Structure 1
Amino acid sequence: MLPTTASKGRGAARSAPPLFGPYLRRIVKWQQMDIEYTFWQMVHLCTSPKVVYQHTKYHKQTKNQWARDDPAFIVILILFLMFATSAYCAAYGESASHAALTITSVVFFHFLFAGIVLATLCWFLTNSYLREEPNSHVVEQRVEWLYAFDVHCNSFFPAFVILYALLSNLLFVVAISYYHYLNFLGYDVLPFLDRTTFFLYPIGLVIILSPLMILIGFNPTRYFLSLYFG
């Protein structure tokens, strides 16, 4: 007799590997991180992001989870943020205390806190409204919160490369649009979600607002630099 959907769901829940425990323990174990694969992902997120999400499918097949079990990506991205912000602080001759405050703000507020909020929102929306109705032959699946945070990190990296290397109105629009495009790819790869084009809507909003920003004289470069160094 074939197992029911509910029993399969319970079996899947029992076999699913724990996410946060091993993940957090590996943060302090640099020798266990796959640094080479992390840099490979970062390069392809800027050149061919679909390849990265194709490997996400392989990861699901081998590890039985969509989220990364290696924190190397987040650790290296935080190091990049700290280095880039330190360079800005040094260029503007800020004091050590102001530099420390700026670095803390960029890492913990603009990246981690904002990422947690966005990931939680996307995690809630996908699980509540975008999942396809499972049939009796398919195990019910849900978006893992840690996977939602992975999608944010993947989307954030190219935006970081563009915005921290050179800021302007055009690059700001490109970076934000690319962030939401990668956000869309991250959820579109999940076969149990539907209507994932929802994540492309902010791109249209950014494109509509960009002429308005130019007309009112809003420059993201000046805004962010004045925020930290004004």
Structure 2
Amino acid sequence: MDRRGLINGLPKPIPGGDRRSARDKGTRYIRRLFHFQHMDFQFATWQMASLFYSPQKVYRNFQYRKQTKDQFARDDPAFLVLLLMWMIVSCVAFVVLLGIHFLGFFKFLLWTIFIDCVGVGLVVATIVWIICNKYLIKPSCRLTEDVEWGYCFDVHLNAFFPALIILHLFQLFFYHIVIRYDTFVSRFFGDTLFLIACAYYVYITFLGYSALPILRNTKVFLYPMAALLVLYLMSLTAGFNLCRTLVDFYHYRVM
């Protein structure tokens, strides 16, 4: 057993130990990406479904992982692999809807994966990781605990999935029927759908950080809800269809 000093009854990390540990965890995670037989896809599927009707249950498992494996972040990439598959399916659906050529499909897929999901996730996870460890961590935990960057990225992936399904798949069933027309009903339906998708992202993000016992004042993650509501009301008043604008943006970006 490592000899470590105790602070408030908790082990004091050896200098540099956290960095080595994070690097080792990241290496193992990447290595498992190439071993599908070691991934628990059934459990990852349950997590994805739970994010819609009971996201609290998903974060209870994160707490259990901390107790058993000493980390909140996922050590099984099955969720990420399934998320990539859903992004491929959604891109195929958009290609059919927008009549994009075959090469455009790959361009749209690359944008969706590396910009919309991974790129935005890297930025959001890093910003929130800094804010949590600098301002939201409890003083009693500051010397012994910290928020893992990998966990911040997992929270982003959790919050991204329902928004992806709502805006990239669900809305497509109604696009030609309702959303694409310039009527109040179309705007109301499209803007409400956009609001629900964004609200899912904010709420699941809030649940992710409120599940960490080392953080305080996690209600700040709910503050964007007010901005979303203002945006929703302004878009309805101004006759702005957010879902149709999103589809037009995707078409412009690819073409």
| TM-score (ref. length: structure 2) | 0.83
1:205 alignment partner in structure 2: 227
How far apart are the structure 1 equivalents of 2:239 and 2:107?
28
- One-letter amino acid of the counterpart of residue 39, structure 1: T
2:7 alignment partner in structure 1: 5
2:194 alignment partner in structure 1: 172
- One-letter amino acid of the counterpart of residue 57, structure 2: V
The structure 1 residue matched to 2:56, chosen from 50, 59, 67, is 50
How far apart are the structure 2 equivalents of 1:157 and 1:92?
22
The structure 1 residue matched to 2:78, chosen from 47, 72, 75, is 72
Are the equivalent residues in 2 in contact too, given 1:44–1:51 (CA < 8 A)?
A: yes
2:211 alignment partner in structure 1: 189
1:110 alignment partner in structure 2: 116
Question: 1:117-136 to 2 correspondence within 5 Å?
Answer: 117-134=123-140
- Number of aligned residue pairs: 227
- Give the share of equivalent positions with the same residue, in percent: 35
Q: CA deviation at 1:47?
A: 0.8
Q: Deviations over 1:21-54 (max 9, x none)?
A: 0001111211111100000101111110111111
SS in 2 for 1:10: coil
- One-letter amino acid of the counterpart of residue 219, structure 1: N
Alpha-carbon RMSD: 2.2
Q: CA deviation at 1:218?
A: 1.9
SS in 2 for 1:208: helix
How far apart are the structure 2 equivalents of 1:40 and 1:12?
38
Are the equivalent residues in 2 in contact too, given 1:78–1:107 (CA < 8 A)?
A: yes
How far apart are the structure 1 equivalents of 2:219 and 2:82?
30
1:222 lines up with 2:227 in the alignment: no
- One-letter amino acid of the counterpart of residue 54, structure 1: R
SS in 2 for 1:19: helix
1:147 lines up with 2:176 in the alignment: no
Are the equivalent residues in 1 in contact too, given 2:129–2:152 (CA < 8 A)?
A: yes
